[in-house]
Chains A and B, each alone.
Chain A
Amino acid sequence: MTSENASDVQNAERSAGAEARAASAERTRLVTRYDSVRLSHGSGGKLTLELIEELFVSVFANEPLRELTDAAIVANLGGRIAFATDSHTVKPAFFPGGDIGRLAVAGTINDLAVMGAKPAYMTAAFLLEEGYDMAELERVVRSMKATADEAGVAIVAGDTKVLERGHGDGVFINTTGIGFLPDDVRLGVGYVRPGDKVLVNGTLGDHGIAVMSRREGLDLAVELESDVAPLNGLIEQVMQVAPNVRFMRDVTRGGLAAVANEVVLRQAFGLRVFDVAVPIHDVVEQYSEMLGIDPLLAANEGKVMMIVPPDEAEAALGAMKAHPFGREAAIIGDIVRKPEGVALVETAYGTRRVLEMPIEEQLPRIC
């Protein structure tokens, strides 16, 4: 941290009464003397401890966290560990279908899950702006807890900093996660072969359009929810029936276009997407047209692109569809010998175009 008013409060406050805190953690409603975040909440002093105990420990509720030690001690996972971190900012912080809390937890879980790892523990670091609404913070924290529970992950350590008013944007959250990576997991672009199939677990662009619709200046009455979700459960189900999955990546900012281009970069194969096979929500289709946005470049927060050998593609698709986060899964393309190093789209008219690597955030076009 560079701000002179922000000081480190890494679960650092030691105190003897771990048992008493455990009891207070059972409370289901937050009791706090403040309705907004103060600089002192990041000072490392009394208010910081209050915030940690009354909000974070109380809501996240797990043994390693309750100890309030400098570092959380967790069980030996054994074998290989996957390790990922991600920082989150989104405007608005609450959007249809989710919020920054769910996003922050799901984002890191998905980064671990697409590596074939089983996410186990997370840390959460908050950068709060002075004056940030305490009730809103509580909603964010509860949303994080609910998402972590859904994924079977514990949030075992954290950090809070408070930035002077005007030097932050409400709330930023960084999460870091670790997961157990079974020895037999072999995933990577190097395993991809021509003929492999490309799958996604549902409609693309939902998050991007849902969030954009609520931005100041657009405020569109869109009946659409973000897809933000932790995908470790779905991925585990797929890998049980398709053990030779070649490659996975969560489809986030930059959309499918970004992931497809990352896969083919400097490789001796191409990735072909069949336009008509890509699941797109009607509302996304219509608003993309209206705003001049390509749904293939729009953001997602609960989607994974998988490359699967052809003989396991149908099984993988079936497993996806059997999961609540994969009902609209589809095989959307394949890996081709040529053109090499190119992601391309085959249109409904039999014509082909390059699928561009996104450059900037998608913005409505002017005319």
Chain B
Amino acid sequence: MAEGGGAPGAFRPDTYKDPELVAQLSGRIAEVAAEIGRPVKLMHICGTHEHEIGRYALRDLLPEGVTVLAGPGCPVCVCDNEYINLAIQLSLTPGVILCSFGDMLAVPGSIPLEGERRGDVRMSLLDARARGGDVRAVYSVFECKRIAEANPDKQVVFFSVGFETTVVAVAAMLKRGAPDNLTVIEANYYTPPATSLLPELDGFDIEGFMLPGHAVTITGLRVYEHLAERGIACASGGFEPVDVMASVVSLLEQIRDGEATIANPYNRLVKYDGNEKAKQELDEVFELAPIRWRGIAEIPASGYKLREAYAQHSAARRFAGTLDEVALRGAEHPKGCRCAEVTLGQIRPDECGVFGKLCTPDSPYGPCMVSHEGTCRAWYTYGMHKERLTVEAA
């Protein structure tokens, strides 16, 4: 870690990767699952969780009856078409530099890609760049600010896609003063309201939520109390193998005891009320508003929009009336793509007809195959769709 980053030894990845600890937790999971005596479904709502579960093949350490599903945890996947189409149109507008995280560049919106014969293939920012758009991949919003300062005669637009963790950085940047020529596309999502929607769905049978470790570091855990009140177990989840397994243990114990609470096994970083300073800054710059989750629904108070005092940095406002309104909308997912069901944990990626065929990481058809945070991408990458990899040595 960077110099000055906490007390010595505060960051010890080895401890949280320790095979013995993981084996103990795996044993504990089997015991509690046996005590419960029936199949149990859990869900995480963070793309990084799916990625780490795949990277360490942690599902192989769970007993038969315990299923951990991936929920709506990938900001790239839930980012609505409208914002992608807006970003594409702006990038093709003369005098505009469109900055985006690399993860977002290959995500198709709903503008058809002309000349494509593979099916219902839509345009992404990469396609826009190939057609002359000034699209730049950035690592942070502060880099985008530097680009705006270096190009005072251009309009610089930051495609602000992300959950609480991303929007906090945007708030910090705007609060400290951004150049006039910098605007942001407000595609910022707030997770808790989406989790209250899930139990309303037909056939919902999730008994516990692993809460997203990064996001709750900012928001705290209180915002998930509505789940516990419905009798759904909750536990914060970090991203190391030990963290993930410990979170599963906590959820299973709650289910066994019939006592849904909000446990905090990731307490080395997460406080019950989150990060007060970050929340305060966020609240100064942004307010909650309804936003569309791609393929799911418009969910009230689940998006961050700029407050009036910062509205001059809203790309949607600055460029209102200059764009093709029709092209901003469009069918949410391409034909045959089942990203919406994957995002809600209703089907496994390999149950989608185009998975691994028309839709692969090098030629993604739906958004869940694009980002490393996407469930389909993680499944494809780590071979989770294959039967357990059985090795025959020489």
Contacts and interface: CB of A to CB of B under 8 A. Distances in A.
A339 B390 contact: yes
Interface string A327-367: 00000001111110010101111011110100111011111
Interface stretch (A38-46, A89-97, A151-159, A284-292): A284-292
Interface in A209-239: 215-218, 220-221
Interface residues of B, number: 60
B250 to A, nearest CB: 19
Interface in B370-390: 371-373, 381-384, 386, 388-390
Interface in B311-332: none
Interface stretch (B134-142, B266-274, B285-293): B134-142
A294 interface: yes
Given A272-B391, A347-B57, A365 B138 contact: no
B10 to A, nearest CB: 12
B56 A349 contact: yes
B166 A353 contact: no
Interface string A306-339: 0000000000000000000000000000111111
Interface string A272-303: 10000000000001100110101000000000
B309 interface: no
A344 B389 contact: yes
Contacts of B142: 217
A338 B143 contact: no
B393 A348 contact: no
Contact of B61 (A218, A349, A360): A349
B378 to A, nearest CB: 10
Nearest to B16: A289
Contacts of B165: 367
B394 A364 contact: no
Contacts, number: 135
A217 B138 contact: yes
Interface in B132-152: 137-140, 142-143, 146
B23 interface: yes
B162 interface: yes
Contact of B373 (A272, A335, A366): A366
Interface in B229-255: 241
Contacts of B51: 292, 365
B386 A348 contact: no
A353 B48 contact: no
A63 to B, nearest CB: 47
B13 interface: yes
Contact of B382 (A290, A292, A353, A359): A353
Contact of B163 (A215, A290, A336, A367): A367
A347 B162 CA distance: 30
Contact of A336 (B2, B161, B381, B392): B392
Contact of A352 (B3, B23, B60, B104): B60
A218 B143 CA distance: 8
A344 B390 CA distance: 10
Contact of A365 (B11, B48, B382, B391): B48
Interface in B112-164: 137-140, 142-143, 146, 161-163
A348 B245 CA distance: 14
B296 interface: no
Contacts of A349: 19, 22-23, 26, 56-58, 61, 241
Contact of A292 (B48, B104, B138, B362): B48
A215 B106 CA distance: 22
21 contacts: A216-B143, A216-B146, A217-B138, A217-B140, A221-B2, A221-B3, A272-B391, A336-B391, A338-B391, A339-B390, A347-B56, A351-B57, A352-B60, A353-B56, A353-B382, A353-B383, A356-B381, A360-B102, A367-B162, A367-B165, A367-B373
5 tightest A-B contacts by CB? A195-B394, A354-B383, A217-B143, A351-B57, A363-B102
